[in-house]
Chains A and B, each alone.
Chain A
Amino acid sequence: DVKVTQSSRYLVKRTGEKVFLECVQDMDHENMFWYRQDPGLGLRLIYFSYDVKMKEKGDIPEGYSVSREKKERFSLILESASTNQTSMYLCASSLTDRNTEAFFGQGTRLTVV
């Protein structure tokens, strides 16, 4: 059973704080993704990674960075949290071999006050 686990279900941070969201997968997947989910906007791709230390910008990378030091772990970093980054953040992973299903984590509801 594939598991994608996000470190926190709910998080409250103050404006200007540096925030780390962690995601771990146990299926040896090459690809990992970070999305944010907002009502009416769907799932928007922030960053993705296809290998250790490799990263690519998605559609909305501004204000975010990522780190992939190990294959199983993909971290999303908010350098200086702002209120407009209040959102649900979803991590996902998939195999590269051929186009295959992406498995999602349970999500982190981040509130920036």
Chain B
Amino acid sequence: GENVEQHPSTLSVQEGDSAVIKCTYSDSASNYFPWYKQELGKRPQLIIDIRSNVGEKKDQRIAVTLNKTAKHFSLHITETQPEDSAVYFCAASINTGFQKLVFGTGTRLLVSP
């Protein structure tokens, strides 16, 4: 089955710096790659996603890149702010008539003022 690895497990940056979180997946049939943000005590919420027919997607300060050949994808946050502090999860989804969504182990991002 699908296996998603995520690095680093923790990431500390200064406000205004960039942050990069990387994930790899094992199943080449995976075709959808969402990223979720989970603030303390809250439920995970989607912040950006990318489909396998696209190499890069950007939404304001957040961007995601996908390399299908290498089976890895990354989240890039620019000009980080303290409110970006949270746990971020990558995921890979296979849709073969139904969706199976497998998550990485999470990255705790701490942005210091």
Contact = CB atoms under 8 A, between A and B. Distances in A.
Interface in A93-113: 94, 96, 98-102, 104-107
Interface in B1-54: 1, 6, 9, 31-32, 34, 42-46, 49, 51
B45 to A, nearest CB: 7
Contacts of B34: 101-102
Interface string A70-113: 00000000000000000000101010101111101111000000
Q: How large is the interface on B (under 10, 10 to 19, 20 to 34, 35 or more residues)?
A: 20 to 34
A50 B99 contact: yes
A42 B44 contact: no
B99 to A, nearest CB: 5
Contacts of B95: 96, 98-99
Nearest to B102: A45
A42 B98 contact: no
Contacts of B42: 106
B93 interface: yes
A59 to B, nearest CB: 7
B102 A59 contact: yes
Given A31-B98, A99-B31, A99-B32, A42 B105 contact: yes
A8 to B, nearest CB: 15
Nearest to A101: B46
Given A99-B31, A102-B34, A42 B97 contact: no
Interface of A: 30-31, 33, 35, 40-45, 48, 50-51, 56, 58-59, 90, 92, 94, 96, 98-102, 104-107
The 5 closest A-B pairs by CB, nearest first: A50-B98, A99-B32, A42-B105, A43-B103, A104-B43
Interface of B: 1, 6, 9, 31-32, 34, 42-46, 49, 51, 89, 93, 95, 97-106
Given A42-B6, A50-B98, 8 more contacts: A33-B101, A42-B106, A45-B102, A45-B103, A59-B102, A94-B101, A96-B99, A101-B46
